Amino acid sequence: MYFLLLQACYNSVVFQITQGTNAGFKNRVTFTMGIMSILKYPDPRLRQKALPVAAVNAKTRSLIEDMFETMWDANGIGLAATQVDVHERVIVMDLEGEQAAPRVYINPEIEILDATCLPYDEGCLSIPDTYETVERPGHVMITALDQDGAEFKEEAKGLLAVCIQHEIDHLEGKLFVDYLSSIKRQRIRKKLKKNRA
Ligand code: NI
């Protein structure tokens, strides 16, 4: 997910130079560029329902790292694993940008605390250059696992509440354009197709 006002530039390409230890005469350069490609609407893989993470392990943490890299590189504030074609219930978020407040949610569930809906202009890394107003409940309780597999609860209001619902929708194979009229959705589909051509 991303919002117009929160776009910023980050330099997130990380590379590591590893000195050869046993060879002695050569340096080995390892690039750990975790930037994954983001599926774009209307790719049918965005409609696949993600499965719960059975065990949080090193593989999960490596996926999380790559998802952060990918999200920051694309100037996003939220990314669901579904968007990088990994169909597991993992979400990363950084609402403040500039890697200030990275958040991880594994197997997230929400409980609506106040059903009063908030209108937000939503955008999505899978639906480039498109912003539309969507209304969602503005106060929820999130229960999820962190990157060590420990359960936590977080009360969310405003942007965080909206963003977690947008990202959980991705895990269900749902996109924010599904909340719009079919005429509007068709128009967005056509525009994206034209921009890609
Ligand atoms: Ni999105």
Q: Which two tokens stand for residue 181?
A: 């009229």
Tracing tokens 């539309």 back to the chain, one arrives at 132
Q: Which pLDDT band, with edges at 50, 70 and 90, does 1 fall under?
A: low
Residue 26, pLDDT above cutoff 70: no
State the distance from the centre of ligand 1 to the C-alpha of 194, rounded, in angstroms. Answer: 20
State the distance from the centre of ligand 1 to the C-alpha of 24, rounded, in angstroms. Answer: 47
Q: Which pLDDT band, with edges at 50, 70 and 90, does 6 fall under?
A: very low
Distances from the Cα of 136 to the Cαs of 7, 54, 133, 161, in angstroms? 22, 29, 10, 8
Whether residue 64 contacts residue 36, with contact meaning beta carbons closer than 8 Å, is answered with no
Q: Which residue has the higher pLDDT, 17 or 61?
A: 61
Q: Which amino acid is it at 143?
A: T
**Ranges 24-33, 66-75, 135-144: which has the least confidence:** 24-33
CA distance 114 to 96: 24
Longest Cα–Cα distance in the chain: 66
Q: Which two tokens stand for residue 111?
A: 């409980």
Average the pLDDT over 78-83 and give the result. 98
Q: What's the mean per-residue pLDDT of the chain?
A: 86
CA distance 182 to 197: 22
Look at residue 91 in the predicted model and tell me its pLDDT. 98
Q: Which two tokens stand for residue 173?
A: 């194979």
- Catalytically active residues are 167
Residue 185: phi, psi to the nearest 5?
Answer: -65, -45
Look at residue 182 in the predicted model and tell me its pLDDT. 95
- The residues pairing with 85 across neighbouring beta strands, listed in sequence order, are none
State the distance from the centre of ligand 1 to the C-alpha of 172, rounded, in angstroms. Answer: 12
Residue 18, pLDDT above cutoff 70: no
State the distance from the centre of ligand 1 to the C-alpha of 76, rounded, in angstroms. Answer: 9
Q: Residue 82 gets which letter from DSSP? A: G
State the distance from the centre of ligand 1 to the C-alpha of 179, rounded, in angstroms. Answer: 13
Look at residue 23 in the predicted model and tell me its pLDDT. 36
Question: What pTM value is reported for the model?
Answer: 0.84
Q: If DSSP codes are grouped into helix, strand and coil, which group holds residue 85?
A: coil
Q: Which two tokens stand for residue 34?
A: 């975790």
State the distance from the centre of ligand 1 to the C-alpha of 114, rounded, in angstroms. Answer: 23
Kindly state the helix (H) or strand (E) to which residue 66 belongs, with its residue range: helix 58-73
State the distance from the centre of ligand 1 to the C-alpha of 152, rounded, in angstroms. Answer: 23
**Based on C-alpha coordinates, what's the Rg of the chain?**
18
